[in-house]
Amino acid sequence: MISRDLFDSYQLLTKWNLKREKLRQAFTVYAGMERENWKNIGVDKVTFDVKEIRDQLIPVLHKDQISSFSTQNIKAWAIHLVEKTKEALLDTVLPFNENEVSFLECLEYHKEIRPEFISADPAFCRRISDHPLLQWRIQSREVKNKG
């Protein structure tokens, strides 16, 4: 996981008061857009590299975000971020529930966008059905399966 993604995920999942249902919907739709198979999404992907955090994340943080820039303190801080992010992921968006799996399986195996599996909101369902990346994902899978 890229250090900024780790920090952003930690902030969103632990510091913001987001609507859980909406977050799950967004996470599920995003999983359907990903090139990587949604079945491979898991908390084991939440990792860090001390050098990357020191070189790419620390310079853009406010100085009160981390008390010391020593490698040992950065590592301890990153371990805390990873642990809390994993806990929040498991509490908020993972594992996928039965309806979310149905939505993702329809995309993958049937080349159908079926947002009604994850929402009863007609406006949301229209936006998801018309989403260009999901449309492209279905078309690219059709071409891949024909070839």
The per-residue pLDDT for 16 is: 94
pLDDT at 35: 85
Rounded to an integer, the average pLDDT of 6-31 is 95
pLDDT in tens, 87-112: 999 999 999 999 999 999 999 999 99
Q: So what's the pLDDT on residue 147?
A: 53
Per-residue pLDDT of 20-66, as tens digits, reads: 999 999 999 999 999 889 999 999 999 999 999 989 998 888 877 77
Residue with tokens 């853009």: 60
> Count H helices, E strands: the chain?
7, 0
pTM for the model stands at: 0.84
Model confidence at 143, in pLDDT bands (50, 70, 90)?
low
Residue-wise DSSP of 7-44: HHHHHHHHTS---HHHHHHHHHHHHHH-SS-GGG-SGG
Please identify which residue in the block is written with the tokens 């590299």. 49
pLDDT at 18: 93
